[in-house]
Amino acid sequence: MMLQGWRWYGPNDPVSLDDIRQAGATDVVTALHQVPIGEAWTRRGVEERKNLIENSQAGRSQLTWSVVESIPIPDDVKRLGAKATRSIEAWIASMEALAASGIKIICYNFMPVVDWCRTDLEWELPNGAKAMRFDHERFAAFDLHILERPAARSEYSEAAQQRAREVHSQMSQADIDELITNIASALPGSTTDPLTIPQFRDRLLQYRGIDSAVLRRHLGEFLARVTPVAEQLGVRLTLHPDDPPRPLFGLPRIASSAEDYQALFDAVPSKANGICFCTGSLGVRAQNDLPAMAKQFAPRIAFAHLRATRREGDGLSFFESDHLDGDVDMIAVLKALLSENRTRSPGEQIVFRPDHGHRMLDDLAATKRTNPGYTAIGRLRGLAELRGAIRAIEHAG
Protein backbone atom coordinates (compact mmCIF):
# COMPACT_ATOMS: atom_id res chain seq x y z
CA MET A 1 0.00 0.00 0.00
CA MET A 2 1.15 3.55 -0.64
CA LEU A 3 2.37 5.41 2.44
CA GLN A 4 -0.17 7.75 4.03
CA GLY A 5 1.31 11.18 4.64
CA TRP A 6 0.19 14.35 6.40
CA ARG A 7 1.51 17.88 6.04
CA TRP A 8 2.63 19.39 9.32
CA TYR A 9 3.87 22.93 9.90
CA GLY A 10 5.99 22.11 12.93
CA PRO A 11 5.67 22.76 16.66
CA ASN A 12 3.37 25.76 16.20
CA ASP A 13 0.91 23.89 13.99
CA PRO A 14 -2.52 23.71 15.69
CA VAL A 15 -2.71 20.12 14.42
CA SER A 16 -0.64 17.94 16.77
CA LEU A 17 1.44 14.85 16.11
CA ASP A 18 -1.18 12.82 17.98
CA ASP A 19 -3.84 14.25 15.64
CA ILE A 20 -1.79 12.91 12.74
CA ARG A 21 -1.54 9.49 14.36
CA GLN A 22 -5.27 9.39 15.05
CA ALA A 23 -5.99 10.29 11.42
CA GLY A 24 -4.16 7.07 10.50
CA ALA A 25 -1.19 8.69 8.76
CA THR A 26 2.28 7.29 9.26
CA ASP A 27 4.47 9.66 7.25
CA VAL A 28 4.99 13.34 8.01
CA VAL A 29 5.51 15.95 5.31
CA THR A 30 7.17 19.05 6.73
CA ALA A 31 9.93 21.62 6.33
CA LEU A 32 12.03 23.99 8.41
CA HIS A 33 9.67 26.90 7.76
CA GLN A 34 11.48 29.03 10.32
CA VAL A 35 14.64 29.20 8.16
CA PRO A 36 14.63 32.26 5.87
CA ILE A 37 14.38 31.56 2.15
CA GLY A 38 17.86 31.15 0.67
CA GLU A 39 19.62 30.09 3.88
CA ALA A 40 21.05 26.60 4.15
CA TRP A 41 19.40 24.18 6.54
CA THR A 42 21.81 22.69 9.07
CA ARG A 43 22.21 19.06 10.04
CA ARG A 44 21.39 20.08 13.61
CA GLY A 45 18.15 21.79 12.59
CA VAL A 46 17.07 18.79 10.54
CA GLU A 47 17.90 16.34 13.33
CA GLU A 48 15.97 18.38 15.89
CA ARG A 49 12.84 18.31 13.73
CA LYS A 50 13.29 14.61 12.92
CA ASN A 51 13.69 13.70 16.60
CA LEU A 52 10.61 15.74 17.52
CA ILE A 53 8.54 13.82 14.97
CA GLU A 54 9.96 10.36 15.44
CA ASN A 55 11.28 10.12 19.01
CA SER A 56 9.64 12.71 21.27
CA GLN A 57 6.62 10.68 22.40
CA ALA A 58 7.63 7.29 23.71
CA GLY A 59 5.01 4.59 23.39
CA ARG A 60 3.04 6.34 20.66
CA SER A 61 2.49 4.97 17.17
CA GLN A 62 5.59 5.50 15.07
CA LEU A 63 5.73 8.48 12.72
CA THR A 64 8.40 9.00 10.06
CA TRP A 65 9.54 12.24 8.49
CA SER A 66 9.79 11.00 4.92
CA VAL A 67 9.04 14.01 2.68
CA VAL A 68 10.29 17.60 2.71
CA GLU A 69 7.81 20.17 1.47
CA SER A 70 9.55 22.33 0.58
CA ILE A 71 13.08 23.67 0.32
CA PRO A 72 12.19 27.03 -1.23
CA ILE A 73 13.89 27.98 -4.48
CA PRO A 74 15.11 31.57 -3.97
CA ASP A 75 13.84 34.16 -6.40
CA ASP A 76 17.26 34.86 -7.89
CA VAL A 77 17.50 31.26 -9.14
CA LYS A 78 14.31 31.75 -11.14
CA ARG A 79 15.55 35.06 -12.56
CA LEU A 80 19.22 34.20 -13.09
CA GLY A 81 19.50 30.43 -13.36
CA ALA A 82 23.05 29.09 -12.96
CA LYS A 83 24.35 32.59 -12.15
CA ALA A 84 22.61 32.42 -8.75
CA THR A 85 25.54 30.39 -7.46
CA ARG A 86 25.24 31.19 -3.77
CA SER A 87 21.53 30.35 -3.60
CA ILE A 88 22.02 27.06 -5.45
CA GLU A 89 24.89 26.08 -3.17
CA ALA A 90 22.75 26.81 -0.11
CA TRP A 91 19.95 24.68 -1.57
CA ILE A 92 22.35 21.80 -2.15
CA ALA A 93 23.64 22.14 1.42
CA SER A 94 20.05 21.83 2.71
CA MET A 95 19.55 18.71 0.60
CA GLU A 96 22.76 17.21 1.96
CA ALA A 97 21.67 17.88 5.56
CA LEU A 98 18.36 16.12 4.88
CA ALA A 99 19.94 13.14 3.17
CA ALA A 100 22.37 12.70 6.05
CA SER A 101 19.31 12.22 8.27
CA GLY A 102 17.71 9.71 5.90
CA ILE A 103 15.11 12.04 4.37
CA LYS A 104 15.17 11.33 0.66
CA ILE A 105 12.06 12.88 -0.99
CA ILE A 106 12.11 16.63 -1.58
CA CYS A 107 9.22 18.62 -3.04
CA TYR A 108 9.83 22.05 -4.54
CA ASN A 109 8.22 24.44 -7.02
CA PHE A 110 9.40 26.96 -9.59
CA MET A 111 6.56 29.50 -9.58
CA PRO A 112 7.83 33.07 -9.94
CA VAL A 113 6.83 35.84 -7.48
CA VAL A 114 3.68 34.11 -6.15
CA ASP A 115 3.31 30.53 -4.98
CA TRP A 116 -0.12 28.85 -4.89
CA CYS A 117 -2.76 31.52 -5.33
CA ARG A 118 -6.32 31.85 -4.00
CA THR A 119 -8.65 34.85 -3.76
CA ASP A 120 -10.86 33.38 -1.00
CA LEU A 121 -9.75 31.28 1.96
CA GLU A 122 -13.16 30.86 3.62
CA TRP A 123 -15.70 30.46 0.80
CA GLU A 124 -18.89 28.96 2.20
CA LEU A 125 -20.14 25.76 0.61
CA PRO A 126 -23.83 24.81 0.49
CA ASN A 127 -23.33 22.44 3.46
CA GLY A 128 -21.91 25.23 5.66
CA ALA A 129 -18.29 24.08 5.46
CA LYS A 130 -15.69 26.49 4.11
CA ALA A 131 -13.28 25.97 1.23
CA MET A 132 -10.59 27.87 -0.60
CA ARG A 133 -11.50 29.35 -3.97
CA PHE A 134 -9.93 31.12 -6.93
CA ASP A 135 -12.46 33.65 -8.25
CA HIS A 136 -11.19 34.93 -11.59
CA GLU A 137 -13.24 38.15 -11.40
CA ARG A 138 -11.81 39.01 -7.97
CA PHE A 139 -8.34 38.15 -9.25
CA ALA A 140 -8.82 40.47 -12.25
CA ALA A 141 -10.03 43.23 -9.91
CA PHE A 142 -6.84 42.81 -7.89
CA ASP A 143 -4.60 42.78 -10.96
CA LEU A 144 -6.25 45.76 -12.68
CA HIS A 145 -7.33 48.03 -9.81
CA ILE A 146 -5.24 47.17 -6.72
CA LEU A 147 -1.91 46.07 -8.16
CA GLU A 148 -2.56 48.28 -11.22
CA ARG A 149 -0.17 46.28 -13.38
CA PRO A 150 0.42 48.35 -16.55
CA ALA A 151 0.28 45.42 -19.00
CA ALA A 152 -2.83 43.90 -17.45
CA ARG A 153 -5.34 45.74 -19.66
CA SER A 154 -3.99 44.06 -22.77
CA GLU A 155 -4.53 40.64 -21.18
CA TYR A 156 -8.23 40.95 -20.31
CA SER A 157 -11.16 41.32 -22.67
CA GLU A 158 -13.34 44.44 -22.49
CA ALA A 159 -16.09 42.41 -20.85
CA ALA A 160 -13.65 41.05 -18.25
CA GLN A 161 -12.35 44.55 -17.54
CA GLN A 162 -15.88 45.86 -17.07
CA ARG A 163 -16.75 43.08 -14.67
CA ALA A 164 -13.51 43.66 -12.74
CA ARG A 165 -14.42 47.34 -12.37
CA GLU A 166 -17.83 46.38 -11.01
CA VAL A 167 -16.35 43.88 -8.56
CA HIS A 168 -13.73 46.38 -7.35
CA SER A 169 -16.30 49.16 -6.93
CA GLN A 170 -18.28 46.97 -4.55
CA MET A 171 -15.28 46.20 -2.32
CA SER A 172 -14.84 47.81 1.07
CA GLN A 173 -11.35 48.64 2.30
CA ALA A 174 -11.54 45.53 4.46
CA ASP A 175 -12.34 43.47 1.36
CA ILE A 176 -9.35 44.97 -0.44
CA ASP A 177 -7.03 44.35 2.50
CA GLU A 178 -8.18 40.75 2.70
CA LEU A 179 -7.59 40.19 -1.01
CA ILE A 180 -4.09 41.68 -0.76
CA THR A 181 -3.35 39.36 2.15
CA ASN A 182 -4.65 36.30 0.32
CA ILE A 183 -2.73 36.94 -2.89
CA ALA A 184 0.41 38.85 -1.94
CA SER A 185 1.18 38.00 1.66
CA ALA A 186 2.17 34.33 1.24
CA LEU A 187 -0.23 31.58 2.29
CA PRO A 188 0.82 28.89 4.81
CA GLY A 189 3.55 26.73 3.35
CA SER A 190 4.32 29.28 0.67
CA THR A 191 7.85 29.27 -0.69
CA THR A 192 7.80 32.90 -1.79
CA ASP A 193 8.26 36.06 0.26
CA PRO A 194 5.27 38.02 1.55
CA LEU A 195 5.04 41.26 -0.42
CA THR A 196 3.44 44.66 -0.04
CA ILE A 197 1.87 46.10 -3.19
CA PRO A 198 4.93 48.31 -3.94
CA GLN A 199 7.23 45.32 -3.39
CA PHE A 200 4.99 43.22 -5.62
CA ARG A 201 5.31 45.77 -8.44
CA ASP A 202 9.07 45.94 -8.03
CA ARG A 203 9.38 42.15 -8.12
CA LEU A 204 7.37 41.97 -11.33
CA LEU A 205 9.68 44.54 -12.93
CA GLN A 206 12.64 42.29 -12.14
CA TYR A 207 11.10 39.63 -14.40
CA ARG A 208 11.03 41.81 -17.51
CA GLY A 209 12.32 39.79 -20.44
CA ILE A 210 11.84 36.44 -18.72
CA ASP A 211 9.44 34.36 -20.79
CA SER A 212 8.61 30.67 -20.53
CA ALA A 213 11.69 29.65 -22.55
CA VAL A 214 14.02 31.60 -20.26
CA LEU A 215 12.35 30.37 -17.08
CA ARG A 216 12.50 26.78 -18.36
CA ARG A 217 16.18 27.22 -19.14
CA HIS A 218 16.84 28.53 -15.64
CA LEU A 219 15.06 25.53 -14.13
CA GLY A 220 17.19 23.25 -16.29
CA GLU A 221 20.36 25.03 -15.15
CA PHE A 222 19.33 24.64 -11.51
CA LEU A 223 18.64 20.94 -11.97
CA ALA A 224 21.88 20.43 -13.89
CA ARG A 225 23.68 21.52 -10.71
CA VAL A 226 21.42 19.76 -8.24
CA THR A 227 20.51 16.38 -9.74
CA PRO A 228 24.05 14.90 -9.82
CA VAL A 229 24.30 15.50 -6.08
CA ALA A 230 20.79 14.15 -5.54
CA GLU A 231 21.70 10.97 -7.43
CA GLN A 232 24.76 10.45 -5.24
CA LEU A 233 22.66 10.94 -2.11
CA GLY A 234 19.75 8.78 -3.28
CA VAL A 235 17.38 11.77 -3.13
CA ARG A 236 14.31 12.09 -5.35
CA LEU A 237 13.32 15.62 -6.33
CA THR A 238 9.63 16.21 -7.04
CA LEU A 239 8.54 19.38 -8.86
CA HIS A 240 5.10 20.57 -7.76
CA PRO A 241 2.79 21.80 -10.54
CA ASP A 242 1.88 25.45 -10.96
CA ASP A 243 -1.20 26.37 -8.94
CA PRO A 244 -3.27 27.42 -10.81
CA PRO A 245 -1.63 25.87 -13.88
CA ARG A 246 -1.53 28.92 -16.12
CA PRO A 247 0.33 32.26 -16.32
CA LEU A 248 -0.47 34.85 -13.66
CA PHE A 249 0.41 38.57 -13.70
CA GLY A 250 2.02 38.13 -17.11
CA LEU A 251 4.56 35.74 -15.59
CA PRO A 252 5.39 32.44 -17.25
CA ARG A 253 4.57 29.17 -15.55
CA ILE A 254 6.27 26.05 -16.82
CA ALA A 255 4.92 23.10 -14.80
CA SER A 256 1.29 23.08 -15.86
CA SER A 257 0.82 20.24 -18.35
CA ALA A 258 2.09 16.86 -19.52
CA GLU A 259 4.03 18.67 -22.24
CA ASP A 260 5.76 20.84 -19.63
CA TYR A 261 6.86 17.87 -17.56
CA GLN A 262 7.94 15.83 -20.58
CA ALA A 263 10.10 18.75 -21.72
CA LEU A 264 11.62 18.91 -18.25
CA PHE A 265 12.45 15.20 -18.18
CA ASP A 266 13.83 15.32 -21.72
CA ALA A 267 16.09 18.23 -20.76
CA VAL A 268 17.22 16.67 -17.45
CA PRO A 269 16.78 12.88 -17.72
CA SER A 270 18.37 12.19 -14.33
CA LYS A 271 16.51 9.55 -12.33
CA ALA A 272 16.47 12.06 -9.45
CA ASN A 273 14.29 14.45 -11.48
CA GLY A 274 10.63 13.74 -10.70
CA ILE A 275 7.14 15.13 -10.25
CA CYS A 276 4.97 15.81 -7.23
CA PHE A 277 1.73 14.53 -8.72
CA CYS A 278 -0.78 17.09 -7.43
CA THR A 279 -4.21 16.17 -8.75
CA GLY A 280 -5.76 19.40 -7.46
CA SER A 281 -3.41 21.75 -9.27
CA LEU A 282 -3.22 19.76 -12.50
CA GLY A 283 -6.99 19.18 -12.41
CA VAL A 284 -7.74 22.88 -12.77
CA ARG A 285 -6.53 22.69 -16.38
CA ALA A 286 -9.30 21.00 -18.38
CA GLN A 287 -6.87 19.74 -21.03
CA ASN A 288 -4.90 17.68 -18.50
CA ASP A 289 -5.77 13.98 -18.57
CA LEU A 290 -4.69 13.04 -15.06
CA PRO A 291 -5.03 9.23 -15.28
CA ALA A 292 -2.98 9.30 -18.49
CA MET A 293 -0.39 11.57 -16.85
CA ALA A 294 -0.18 9.27 -13.82
CA LYS A 295 0.61 6.38 -16.16
CA GLN A 296 2.99 8.37 -18.35
CA PHE A 297 5.08 9.68 -15.47
CA ALA A 298 4.57 6.80 -13.00
CA PRO A 299 8.29 5.96 -12.59
CA ARG A 300 9.00 9.60 -11.71
CA ILE A 301 6.31 9.90 -9.02
CA ALA A 302 7.66 9.60 -5.49
CA PHE A 303 5.12 11.91 -3.86
CA ALA A 304 1.48 12.73 -4.58
CA HIS A 305 -1.00 15.35 -3.39
CA LEU A 306 -4.40 13.73 -3.74
CA ARG A 307 -7.05 16.43 -3.65
CA ALA A 308 -9.75 17.62 -6.02
CA THR A 309 -10.78 20.93 -7.49
CA ARG A 310 -13.95 21.76 -9.37
CA ARG A 311 -13.88 24.21 -12.26
CA GLU A 312 -16.67 26.77 -12.45
CA GLY A 313 -18.69 27.93 -15.46
CA ASP A 314 -16.19 30.52 -16.70
CA GLY A 315 -13.47 27.86 -16.96
CA LEU A 316 -11.08 30.03 -14.96
CA SER A 317 -12.55 30.07 -11.45
CA PHE A 318 -12.43 26.97 -9.26
CA PHE A 319 -12.82 25.81 -5.68
CA GLU A 320 -11.49 23.01 -3.51
CA SER A 321 -14.03 20.20 -3.65
CA ASP A 322 -14.34 16.99 -1.65
CA HIS A 323 -11.42 14.68 -2.38
CA LEU A 324 -13.40 12.22 -4.50
CA ASP A 325 -15.88 14.65 -6.07
CA GLY A 326 -13.92 17.10 -8.18
CA ASP A 327 -13.17 17.18 -11.90
CA VAL A 328 -10.41 14.58 -11.62
CA ASP A 329 -11.20 10.86 -11.97
CA MET A 330 -9.57 10.07 -8.64
CA ILE A 331 -10.31 6.35 -8.81
CA ALA A 332 -8.49 6.05 -12.15
CA VAL A 333 -5.55 8.03 -10.77
CA LEU A 334 -5.40 5.81 -7.68
CA LYS A 335 -5.41 2.70 -9.87
CA ALA A 336 -2.44 4.02 -11.85
CA LEU A 337 -0.49 4.96 -8.72
CA LEU A 338 -1.22 1.65 -7.00
CA SER A 339 -0.14 -0.24 -10.11
CA GLU A 340 3.19 1.60 -10.09
CA ASN A 341 3.59 1.23 -6.34
CA ARG A 342 3.28 -2.57 -6.56
CA THR A 343 6.45 -2.67 -8.67
CA ARG A 344 8.52 -0.92 -6.01
CA SER A 345 10.62 -2.13 -3.12
CA PRO A 346 9.53 -1.16 0.42
CA GLY A 347 12.01 1.72 0.56
CA GLU A 348 10.70 3.31 -2.62
CA GLN A 349 6.95 3.36 -2.04
CA ILE A 350 4.93 6.37 -3.13
CA VAL A 351 3.97 8.73 -0.31
CA PHE A 352 0.63 10.48 -0.73
CA ARG A 353 -1.21 12.94 1.41
CA PRO A 354 -4.68 14.51 1.48
CA ASP A 355 -4.59 18.20 0.75
CA HIS A 356 -6.61 21.39 1.19
CA GLY A 357 -9.37 19.96 3.32
CA HIS A 358 -12.50 21.95 4.11
CA ARG A 359 -12.97 23.83 7.35
CA MET A 360 -15.85 21.96 8.95
CA LEU A 361 -17.45 20.68 12.17
CA ASP A 362 -15.53 21.78 15.29
CA ASP A 363 -12.86 23.46 13.17
CA LEU A 364 -15.48 26.12 12.27
CA ALA A 365 -15.47 27.45 15.83
CA ALA A 366 -14.47 31.11 15.92
CA THR A 367 -11.96 30.38 18.67
CA LYS A 368 -10.27 27.57 16.73
CA ARG A 369 -6.96 28.49 15.16
CA THR A 370 -6.46 26.79 11.78
CA ASN A 371 -4.25 27.11 8.73
CA PRO A 372 -6.28 27.67 5.53
CA GLY A 373 -6.67 24.34 3.77
CA TYR A 374 -4.88 22.48 6.54
CA THR A 375 -7.52 21.84 9.16
CA ALA A 376 -7.46 18.49 10.94
CA ILE A 377 -11.05 17.41 10.32
CA GLY A 378 -11.27 18.32 6.63
CA ARG A 379 -8.08 16.47 5.83
CA LEU A 380 -9.13 13.55 8.02
CA ARG A 381 -12.25 13.23 5.89
CA GLY A 382 -10.14 13.36 2.73
CA LEU A 383 -7.67 10.75 3.97
CA ALA A 384 -10.50 8.46 5.09
CA GLU A 385 -12.14 8.69 1.66
CA LEU A 386 -8.87 8.03 -0.14
CA ARG A 387 -8.01 5.14 2.18
CA GLY A 388 -11.41 3.58 1.61
CA ALA A 389 -11.09 3.92 -2.16
CA ILE A 390 -7.64 2.36 -2.06
CA ARG A 391 -8.85 -0.59 0.02
CA ALA A 392 -11.73 -1.16 -2.40
CA ILE A 393 -9.40 -1.06 -5.41
CA GLU A 394 -6.98 -3.45 -3.77
CA HIS A 395 -9.79 -5.82 -2.76
CA ALA A 396 -11.12 -5.88 -6.30
CA GLY A 397 -7.67 -6.97 -7.44
Q: Point out the residues that are catalytic.
A: 240, 278, 305, 355-356, 374
Tell me the sheet residues that pair with 273.
237
